[in-house]
C-alpha cells in the first residue's frame, strides 16, 4: 500500500504518517477565507492535509525547533499561507496576540510524540537504542530527564510512573530505577530501559515492550504535558471565532479524560458550544494496521456557537 500524499516524505525529511487525517479535515472543514492553527505542527502531516483541503492561512506551532524546520520543508508549497512558530502549544493565546490575530476558525492539537522524536536516539525518547537521558521536546529549555531523576525520591517517582504510565508495577520499577541511579547505573536510555524491564518483569510474552509505559510516563513528566493541557484547551477555546472548531487528538487516557471533561463543561451552555463528537473518533482497522501509532489515538471536537 502506498503512503498517503499528505504524509509522504520528500528529500531528507523523516517519514511520518499523521493519524485520523480524513476525520480531522472533515471536522475542520477548512475554508479559503479561514485561519487555522496546528498547535502541535510536528512534521507537518496534518497541516499539509488541511492546506491541501483549502485552508486560506495556517499558523503552525511546535516546541521542537527541529520539527519546525522539517515542517517548513514539507509545507513549502504553501509558504505564502503558512507561519511557523517555535513555541509551546499552551501559549497559543500569546502566539496569536503577538501576530495580530484576534480569532481563528479552527485549532488542532495532536498530543502524541512524532516518529522523528521516537526514532532519533539522540533525543532520549527511545527505549530501543542508547541515547542521552533527555526527553525534552524543546531542547532549548527545561530540565532533562537526567536532571529530574537525580532529584526525585522513590515514592514520588512511583507516583509519576503510575499516574502517567498506568504501570501496575510502578513501585517496584521506581525502586529499581532509584537503586540503579544511586550506584551510577543510569548511563543512557538503553540502560534505563534494561532497569525498567527488570522492574516490570519481562519473563512472559507481552504485546508491548515492558519499558513502554514507564518511558511514556517519564516523557509526560519531563515535558509537563498533563499540567499544560488544561491551559491549552482554555486558551484555544478563547481564540476561536464564532463557528470555530477545536480538535484534539490524545493518546493517553488521562489526556483524553481532561479533554472530555473540559469539552463537556464548555457544552453545558448549549447556546455557546456544541460537541461534534459525543464519543471519541478512533482509527479504523485499515489505518490501525497500516499505522500502529493510530491504534491508541482518540479524536474529540467541539464547535463555538457564541
Domain end residue (candidates: 179, 201, 223): 223
Residues 141 and 205 in one domain: yes
Residues 144 and 204 in one domain: yes
Residues 81 and 136 in one domain: no
Q: What mean pLDDT is predicted for residues 117-131?
A: 73
* 263 membership: H or E segment, kind and range: helix 253-266
Residues 92 and 172 in one domain: no
13 falls within a domain: no
Q: Flag the least confident range among 65-79, 83-97, 103-117, 243-257.
A: 103-117
| SS3 of 1-41 | CCCCCCCCCCCCCCCCCCCCHHHHHHHHCCCCCCEEEECCC
* 84 membership: H or E segment, kind and range: strand 82-86
CB neighbour list of residue 176: distance below 8 Å, 6 or more residues apart: 195, 196, 198, 199
Query: What pLDDT does 7 receive?
Result: 39
What the block records as the C-alpha cell of 253 is 487516557
Residues 216 and 148 in one domain: yes
**pLDDT one-digit tens code per residue, 284-295:** 999 999 998 899
Q: Which domain holds residue 102?
A: 21-110+225-304
End-to-end CA distance of the chain, in Å?
A: 44
Instruction: Return the SS3 of 242.
Output: strand
**pLDDT one-digit tens code per residue, 156-193:** 999 999 999 999 999 999 999 999 999 999 999 999 99
3 falls within a domain: no
Question: What is the C-alpha separation between 43 and 45, in angstroms, rounded?
Answer: 6
Query: What pLDDT does 113 receive?
Result: 76
Residues 215-243 as b/e (b if ≥16 CB within 10 A, e otherwise) read bbbbbbbbbebbeebeebbebbbebbeee
Amino acid at each position: 500500500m502506498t503512503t498517503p500524499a499528505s504524509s509522504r516524505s520528500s528529500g531528507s525529511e523523516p517519514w511520518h504518517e499523521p493519524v485520523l487525517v480524513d476525520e480531522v479535515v472533515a471536522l475542520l472543514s477548512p475554508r479559503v477565507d479561514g485561519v487555522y492553527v496546528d498547535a502541535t505542527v510536528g512534521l507537518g502531516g496534518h497541516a499539509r492535509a488541511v492546506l491541501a483541503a483549502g485552508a486560506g492561512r495556517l499558523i503552525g506551532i511546535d516546541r521542537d525547533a527541529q520539527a519546525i524546520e522539517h515542517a517548513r520543508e514539507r509545507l513549502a508549497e504553501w509558504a505564502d499561507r503558512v507561519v511557523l512558530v517555535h513555541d509551546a502549544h499552551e501559549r497559543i493565546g500569546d502566539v496569536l496576540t503577538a501576530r495580530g490575530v484576534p480569532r481563528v476558525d479552527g485549532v488542532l492539537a495532536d498530543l502524541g510524540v512524532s516518529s522523528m522524536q521516537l526514532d532519533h536516539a539522540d533525543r532520549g525518547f527511545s527505549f530501543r537504542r542508547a541515547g542521552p537521558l533527555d526527553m525534552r521536546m524543546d531542547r532549548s529549555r527545561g530540565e532533562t530527564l537526567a536532571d529530574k531523576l537525580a532529584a526525585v525520591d522513590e515514592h514520588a517517582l512511583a507516583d509519576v510512573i503510575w499516574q502517567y504510565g498506568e504501570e501496575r508495577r510502578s513501585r517496584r520499577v521506581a525502586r529499581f530505577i532509584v537503586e540503579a541511579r544511586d550506584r551510577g547505573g543510569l548511563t543512557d536510555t538503553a540502560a534505563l530501559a534494561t532497569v525498567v524491564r527488570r522492574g516490570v518483569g519481562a519473563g512472559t510474552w507481552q504485546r508491548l515492550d515492558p519499558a513502554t509505559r514507564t518511558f511514556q510516563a517519564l516523557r509526560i513528566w519531563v515535558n509537563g504535558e498533563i499540567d499544560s493541557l488544561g491551559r491549552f484547551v482554555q486558551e484555544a477555546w478563547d481564540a476561536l471565532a464564532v463557528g470555530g472548531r477545536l480538535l484534539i487528538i490524545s493518546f493517553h487516557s488521562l489526556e483524553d479524560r481532561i479533554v472530555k471533561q473540559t469539552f463537556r463543561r464548555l457544552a453545558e451552555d448549549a447556546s455557546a458550544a456544541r460537541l461534534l463528537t459525543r464519543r471519541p473518533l478512533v482509527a479504523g482497522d485499515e489505518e490501525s494496521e497500516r499505522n500502529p501509532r493510530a491504534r491508541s489515538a482518540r479524536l474529540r471536537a467541539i464547535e463555538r456557537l457564541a
